[in-house]
Amino acid sequence: MGAHVFSLPDVGEGLTEAEILRWLVRPGDVVAVNQMIVEIETAKAAVELPCPFAGVVEELHAAEGQIVAVGSPIISVLGDVPAAAPGPQRQAVLVGYGVREDGPPARRRRREAPGTVEAPEAAVQEHQPMTTVRAKPLVRKLARERGIDISTVPATGQHGEVTRSDVLAAAGGVAMPPSVSSDSAGDRVPVRGVQRAMAEAMVQSAFTAPHVTEWVDVDMSRAMEVVQRLREAPGAADVRITPMILVAAGLIRAARLHPRINSTWVDSADGADVVIHRAVHLGIAADTPRGLLVPTIKNASALGLVDLARQVQALIDTARAGRSTPADLTGGTITLTNVGVFGVDGGTPIINPGQTSILAMGRVIDRPWVVAGQVVARPVMQLSFSFDHRVIGGALGSRALQSVAAFLQDPALALMMDDAG
């Protein structure tokens, strides 16, 4: 009998840590290969991890609610250990994520298979307590940028964490105001998992990409007629058809007409590049119990309206149920957000990191509209388009936004013209 140590794998691209939400086993429990043993929440989603070993649970190395770094031991399982083969050992890994050669790297690299442990003896020796330095990723990043060893920074956070003020003070910079004292009125709510990741992403985007936002009002009369016809179309009875489907189709069309809005700014040692994506992977912002998520419709330009509606419905329902996978939440090249469902007209949406534009759609509401010299009531929607001014100039951003508006003003005609072309 030997101890197998299972380390936290990387279940998504570039993730460095996860929170232990709930253990599904306890010490002394008998587990089988592929049995779900723990629920974790990463920056992308909440997922359950299967056990790659069979045996008896010896120890849980992380408590519920604890933040664990990728590659750190989370559970030990007693069981028969296969005889070690001569030469370098292969590491046990999470089923379905592949293997790599032994020896955890000094720095985890992108797109590698998840690291675990070598032979059981080495695994036991490598098991160390979790890092004693508590700090948010942005604080750690600030310390790295200032050349400061964060383990040497005195922590003044209420729960013993190193704060941004602490790092700035250690660097001789200007500190932020002190934290709110524990006896102040109000409740402190930890920001973790998806919510924390989204907050960090928005801060990164807002202070990295120079945002420009433009607005346009659209007469949705003909668009609403198309929505009604789609609802009555054969095979669409089980599909949720809303104006958002036409806005999504209009944005996809704009990305084809103006490819630069479907791109990524990439910094490099030699300067910077703009990667213009051939495929349109449309992100749909969804309000969920876990916070804002952006599931992605891959190759959205290849879908018809009804199929697009099905994909949107399925992804949003899955996200709200907490079942989105990391693959569902990555790879987007442009994003659509619907603020109209909250009864508002528009806003200044923040671009998702790795993208260069985002479109917000507002509510559809009757407003005065001039038609043939007469003021009449028309269903009107406001579109708000934010773009990265490093990549997209004002003229291009305006043309892209106007192309979405033109599509919505007469979507049937636009679709016929596209088919004819």
Active site residues: 389
Distance in angstroms (rounded) separating the CA atoms of residues 167 and 152:
10
Report the amino acid identity of residue 95. Answer: V
- Cα torsion at 140, 146, 147, 150 (round to 10°)? -30
Closest CA to 8 of 101, 92, 79, 89: 92
Q: What is the DSSP string of 168-202?
A: HHHHT-PPPPPPPPTTSSS------HHHHHHHHHH
Bridge-based pairing state of the strands 30-31 and 55-60: antiparallel
Residue 219: enclosing H or E segment and its boundaries? strand 211-219
Distance in angstroms (rounded) separating the CA atoms of residues 414 and 230:
16
Report the amino acid identity of residue 318. Answer: T
Please answer whether residues 286 and 315 qualify as being in contact, where contact means their C-beta atoms are separated by less than 8 angstroms. yes
Alpha helices in 232-345 (DSSP H): 243-257, 305-320
* Close Cβ partners of 285 (under 8 Å, ≥ 6 residues apart): 292, 293, 294, 335, 336, 337, 338
- To 5 degrees, how large is the angle CA 120–CA 122–CA 127? 95
